[in-house]
Amino acid sequence: MVRELDGMAEWTAASALYREVFGYAEPEWGLSPRLLAALGENGGTVIGALTGDGTLTGFCYGFTGVEGGEIYHYSQAAVVRAGAQGTGLGRLLKYAQAAVAQRTGARTMRWTFDPYALRNAHFNFAVLGATGIRFLPDFYREPGTDRVLVSWDLTDAGQRSSRRTAKMVVSAVAGERFAAPEPADRAWLRRELLTQFAAGRCLVDVVRQPGRAAYEFEAAA
């Protein structure tokens, strides 16, 4: 069952799952259950996937954002317990989050991902049909935290354009989540992403191959 979480017990379980999946041990990386309570009451999303006995196996949360007068929903994080990954639970969480976000008036959802996390890239583009709209170097103001910002059209989710105007080939590390690429590879990818986005292109797909991946761009609408 995928639904909005409610009550301190469920918010606390979500906080614990968040730390478990990301491997966070330091207290500053924790997620306050009270923050989740506030988000749920103020235009945010706090969505969980529970088994029949009430065990939490997946969780995502986000909040409302505004840019240039456009209301969008920002999905901060989505986690799935190790034993349940690869079962389609991530997609169910994202669509449930989209349904709640639309009730706030949002027509799009945004989130960021590490461009070297190729499994995440495939999910974003091939599964959901999102579009990379911006490159954010050192997003968390720390080295190695480059991110691509994606936007997902909630009014026509899953529809993708067939237009292609540019392709670049990325020498990547195996494509595993949270992979640690060589600094030179990450620096090369940063330069290429800066070039493509500066040219007014959007990131629309990733094609994985042994040892590398091809990121595909199209001209921005």
Domain check: are 115 and 101 in the same one? no
Domain check: are 101 and 122 in the same one? no
**Sole residue written with tokens 């690429």:** 181
Query: What is the C-alpha to C-alpha distance for residues 40 and 5, in angstroms, rounded to an integer?
Result: 8
Residue where a domain stops, chosen among 42, 71, 106: 106
Mean pLDDT value across residues 126-147: 94
Confidence of residue 119 (pLDDT cuts 50, 70, 90): confident
- 188, two tokens: 């090369």
pLDDT of the residue at 175 = 41
At 154, which amino acid appears? L
Domain check: are 171 and 209 in the same one? yes
CATH number of 73's domain: 3.40.630.30
pLDDT of the residue at 176 = 43
Query: What is the C-alpha to C-alpha distance for residues 208 and 144, in angstroms, rounded to an integer?
Result: 22
pLDDT of the residue at 99 = 95
Domain check: are 44 and 139 in the same one? no
Domain check: are 116 and 213 in the same one? yes
**Least confident residue range of 36-45, 116-125, 164-173, 192-201:** 164-173
Q: The domain containing residue 20 runs over which residues?
A: 1-106
Domains identified in the chain, total number: 2
Mean pLDDT value across residues 118-144: 92
Domain check: are 24 and 45 in the same one? yes
Q: Give the CA distances from residue 40 to residues 24, 60, 92, 137, in Å, rounded to whole numbers and listed in that order.
A: 23, 12, 19, 30
Please count the other Cβ atoms lying within 10 Å of the Cβ belonging to residue 54.
Answer: 10
At 15-38, the pLDDT tens digits run: 999 999 999 999 899 999 999 999
- 133, two tokens: 């709209």
DSSP state of 82: G
pLDDT, averaged across the chain: 87
Domain check: are 116 and 216 in the same one? yes
As beta bridge partners, residue 66 has 71
pLDDT of the residue at 143 = 87
Mean pLDDT value across residues 39-62: 95
Confidence of residue 163 (pLDDT cuts 50, 70, 90): very low
As a dihedral over the C-alpha atoms of residue 75, residue 76, residue 81, residue 86, rounded to 10 degrees, the angle is 50
- Global pTM reads 0.88
More confident residue, 138 or 160: 138
pLDDT of the residue at 157 = 62
The answer to whether 147 and 114 have CB atoms below 8 angstroms apart is yes
pLDDT of the residue at 171 = 46
Domain check: are 101 and 114 in the same one? no
Query: What is the C-alpha to C-alpha distance for residues 51 and 13, in angstroms, rounded to an integer?
Result: 13
pLDDT of the residue at 152 = 97
The answer to whether 135 and 146 have CB atoms below 8 angstroms apart is yes
Confidence of residue 112 (pLDDT cuts 50, 70, 90): very high
